[in-house]
Chain A
Amino acid sequence: MHGSKIPIWFFIGVLLVTYGLLITGYGIYELATGQLADVALSQAHAPVWWGATLLALGIFYMAKFRPGKAKK
């Protein structure tokens, strides 16, 4: 909780970045190959934009709450 410790928001950022990379990566693969998953609204390419949203949030949290910088 204190500045010298890793805040929970940083852990959340790490997890969101990891998930964002994996899901966006899969979405781009789908987009590139045209092999869409057998689910409803697959043409909406949810993995691309939802993965990118997770990635952006994760980067924000990692940057804002990186160890050594964060306040409570």
Chain B
Amino acid sequence: MHGIVPAANASLPAFLLFSAEPLAHLRLLDIAIIAIYFGMVIWIGIYLKGQANTSEEFFMAGREMTAWIAGLSFVSANLGSLELMGWAGSAYQYGILATHWYWIGAIPAMVFLGLVMMPFYYVCKTHSVPGYLGLRYGKGASSVAAISFAIEMILMSGVNMFAMAVVMKVVLGWDISFSIIVSSVAVALYVGLGGLRSAIFNEVLQFVLIWGGALLVPILGMIQAGGVMGLKKQIMHNMQTMTGGVAGDSYFHMWRDLGSFSANPMGVHWSGIVFGLGFVISFGYWTTDFLVVQRVLAAHNLRAARMAPIIASFFKMATPFIVILPGLLGLVLLQNGDGSRRELVGEDVVAACSMTGSGAVADVAGCQAAMSKTSLSAAAQSKVLAGGPDAELHSYNQALPLMMVRYLGPGLLGLGITALIAGFMSGMAGNVSAFSTVWTYDIYKSLINKKGSDSHYVLVGRLSILIGVAVSIGAAYLVMHAHGIMDYVQALFSIFVAPLLASILWGMFWTRATKLAGFIGLLSGIVFSASLFMWVKLTPSALASVALSPDAKPMAENVFRALWAFLFSSIVILVISLVTKARPIAELDGLVYGATKLPTEEPVPWYRSEYTWALLVVVIFAGLNILFW
């Protein structure tokens, strides 16, 4: 989930910079495959330029997308490559617990968006989520949401751009500036030319490529591991060697060991997973983050808009197959050059044991101290300290690229790398297209120039994409030179999401919620959430208070902070609403449940009804959770 990256991934690029040897070398065939991909995405942008002349076409893709295109784009904008690598690394560390972020952390919210919330977003014809807040609560709440969202989009885009460039450096040895410039210019070109339609079309293309490039790794891995039973047996054996059998069994259970913070390797509690992740973070992201909601708003009718998130939820449920499974397979299949098992470690250990150009560990004492806290065997530690070829440590986040390099030869490796690049570009295109719409409609048009012509706003949108990409590049270089900023930028989403969700849910489902309550609830919630973040940042022991347990680990912080911030904002909205004057019901038509007469949809056969497919999603979702209990 965008912004909620695994803790191990939080400082990913900073430390990866220390890596010396690239993991793989591309052949001409691989380079041709990557070049063809770039040619295709730019061609699509040029082709679609003629269909992006009016603001409705440029910012909303003419509201012509089918349910399938909107749905695949919806899920693709979220499938960033850093997320793929981060969660594969988390699966290596925590086992299938990481799957929670794909199932309970997404599916209920996606179904809720499609069946319950979409009609309000769609009927009020808003161009954006801050736009909905503007209609419901007025300019104050809308401006707070728009400005915070715009800043978040651009900074996140820059951080992801830098992180991706570092991954390319580590995996392929590519120059950081080369990766940043080439990928960002390509995104700026195709989104700037074809607008949201081009972003959406390319996201569908990228979705196919991500699956085409990444699916082969778990297939070959499962063949080599001897199927599910073989994988399970080998993981249990390896865990027994590493931890005395303490964590091995937990690798295969999603719920069984969530009764206490100390019983599972992730250090989380079921209450945090259900209420913090499954409700606040998940609903906050999937139902209020304009990055994804924008894709569904582009649907050609209300039924398509409702079906899109439901179609997307099937693919979201399947994503662990290309993310979590490779991480688990990495636990048993990754090998060093001498055939011994390759153990991955945290980014901090990789950094502490970084090597000099001659292949020796730069800081022997620091490296020894860092390795002593890991489960690395004495022989493995000696090998690292001795230096030389194949001695370098690799981090959890490299599990997916390492698996790709292990199985993919010429051509297929190019396809796998293209999948990673496609994942990055779909995320960045999502960032800049959403930024462009919010900037143009909710900041420029709302606060700066209300009387521009339609073509003027299209021009502003195009320019904002160019400027947005330029600022993102600046942010990428800023992070490169000041790594500490990265943690703060990555926390932005988790700080904004809970108050935004509270404002929208109370506004959409309670006619009594007032303008002032919406504004103050959102603003004070952001301040509260940021304060909690800073408290833990400055006083790490505060984590025990935020997550309600001394055994809580950093992963628990995000979910509990979101939960408290949601409750805080909700209480503020409730109290202020009860002491201020509500808007007349008549003014809330199209905005609030109970005050809106929803349009009647044409009847369709049961097998084409969104309710049938939503029911199927729920049944599969429940079945999977029981299966992996």
A residues neighboring B (CB under 8 Å):
1, 5-6, 8, 11-12, 14-16, 18-19, 22-23, 26-27, 30, 36-42, 44, 46-47, 50-51, 54, 72
Chain A binder among B8-16, B62-70, B148-156: B62-70
CB of B234 closer than 8 Å to a CB of A: no
Q: When the two chains form their complex, are residues A6 and B47 in contact, meaning their CB atoms are under 8 A apart?
A: yes
A40 cross-chain contacts in B, Cβ below 8 A:
220, 224, 333, 406-407
Q: When the two chains form their complex, are residues B205 and A19 in contact, meaning their CB atoms are under 8 A apart?
A: no
With A11-B44, A19-B33 in contact, do A1 and B411 touch (Cβ < 8 Å)?
Answer: no
Per DSSP, chain B at the interface is: helix
Q: When the two chains form their complex, are residues A39 and B205 in contact, meaning their CB atoms are under 8 A apart?
A: no
Other A-B pairs beyond A15-B208, A22-B33, A40-B220, 15, CB < 8 Å: A1-B64, A11-B205, A12-B208, A14-B40, A15-B36, A15-B205, A15-B209, A19-B33, A26-B29, A26-B411, A36-B409, A37-B410, A39-B408, A41-B407, A46-B407
CB of B560 closer than 8 Å to a CB of A: no
CB of B106 closer than 8 Å to a CB of A: no
B399-424 CB mask vs A (1 if < 8 Å, else 0) is 00000011111111001000000000
When the two chains form the complex, which single residue of B65, B212, B409 contacts A39, counting CB atoms closer than 8 Å? B409
A23 to B36, CA, bound (A): 13
CB of B375 closer than 8 Å to a CB of A: no
A14 cross-chain contacts in B, Cβ below 8 A:
40
* B74 CB, nearest partner CB in chain A, Å: 14
Could you tell me which residues of chain B, from 37 to 77, have a CB within 8 Å of some CB in chain A?
A: 37, 40, 43-44, 47, 51, 62, 64-66, 69
Ranked nearest first, the 4 interchain pairs of A and B with the lowest CB-CB distance are: A37-B409, A23-B411, A8-B201, A26-B411
Q: When the two chains form their complex, are residues A1 and B412 in contact, meaning their CB atoms are under 8 A apart?
A: no
B residues neighboring A (CB under 8 Å):
29, 32-33, 36-37, 40, 43-44, 47, 51, 62, 64-66, 69, 201, 204-205, 208-209, 212, 216, 220, 223-224, 300, 333, 405-412, 415
With A23-B412, A41-B407 in contact, do A8 and B205 touch (Cβ < 8 Å)?
Answer: yes
With A37-B410, A72-B66 in contact, do A54 and B40 touch (Cβ < 8 Å)?
Answer: no
A72 to B204, CA, bound (A): 15
Q: When the two chains form their complex, are residues A18 and B36 in contact, meaning their CB atoms are under 8 A apart?
A: yes
A8 to B204, CA, bound (A): 8
A1 to B65, CA, bound (A): 7
A72 to B68, CA, bound (A): 10
A-B Cβ contacts below 8 A, count: 84
A55 to B410, CA, bound (A): 17
Q: When the two chains form their complex, are residues A47 and B412 in contact, meaning their CB atoms are under 8 A apart?
A: yes
A72 cross-chain contacts in B, Cβ below 8 A:
66, 300
* A53 CB, nearest partner CB in chain B, Å: 9
A4 to B69, CA, bound (A): 18
Residue of B nearest to A18 (CB): B36
When the two chains form the complex, which single residue of A15, A23, A42, A44 contacts B37, counting CB atoms closer than 8 Å? A15
Q: When the two chains form their complex, are residues A1 and B407 in contact, meaning their CB atoms are under 8 A apart?
A: no
B69 cross-chain contacts in A, Cβ below 8 A:
8
When the two chains form the complex, which single residue of B29, B209, B407 contacts A22, counting CB atoms closer than 8 Å? B29
* B205 CB, nearest partner CB in chain A, Å: 6
A15 to B212, CA, bound (A): 11
* B611 CB, nearest partner CB in chain A, Å: 23
B51 cross-chain contacts in A, Cβ below 8 A:
5
With A8-B69, A12-B205 in contact, do A23 and B415 touch (Cβ < 8 Å)?
Answer: yes
A33 to B409, CA, bound (A): 15
Q: When the two chains form their complex, are residues A19 and B220 in contact, meaning their CB atoms are under 8 A apart?
A: no
Residue of A nearest to B44 (CB): A11
B62 cross-chain contacts in A, Cβ below 8 A:
1
When the two chains form the complex, which single residue of A6, A11, A16, A30 contacts B212, counting CB atoms closer than 8 Å? A16
Most chain B CB within 10 A, of A19, A38, A46, is at A19
A38 cross-chain contacts in B, Cβ below 8 A:
409
A18 to B212, CA, bound (A): 13
* B76 CB, nearest partner CB in chain A, Å: 12
Q: When the two chains form their complex, are residues B224 and A41 in contact, meaning their CB atoms are under 8 A apart?
A: yes
A38 to B409, CA, bound (A): 7
B405 cross-chain contacts in A, Cβ below 8 A:
39
Q: When the two chains form their complex, are residues A44 and B205 in contact, meaning their CB atoms are under 8 A apart?
A: no
A9 to B602, CA, bound (A): 27
Most chain A CB within 10 A, of B64, B201, B220, B412, is at B412
Most chain B CB within 10 A, of A8, A23, A38, A39, is at A8
Q: When the two chains form their complex, are residues A44 and B411 in contact, meaning their CB atoms are under 8 A apart?
A: no
With A1-B64, A26-B29, A37-B409 in contact, do A19 and B415 touch (Cβ < 8 Å)?
Answer: yes
11 contacts between A and B (CB under 8 A): A8-B205, A11-B43, A11-B44, A12-B208, A16-B208, A16-B212, A26-B29, A39-B408, A46-B408, A50-B412, A51-B411
A27 to B29, CA, bound (A): 12
Residue of B nearest to A51 (CB): B411
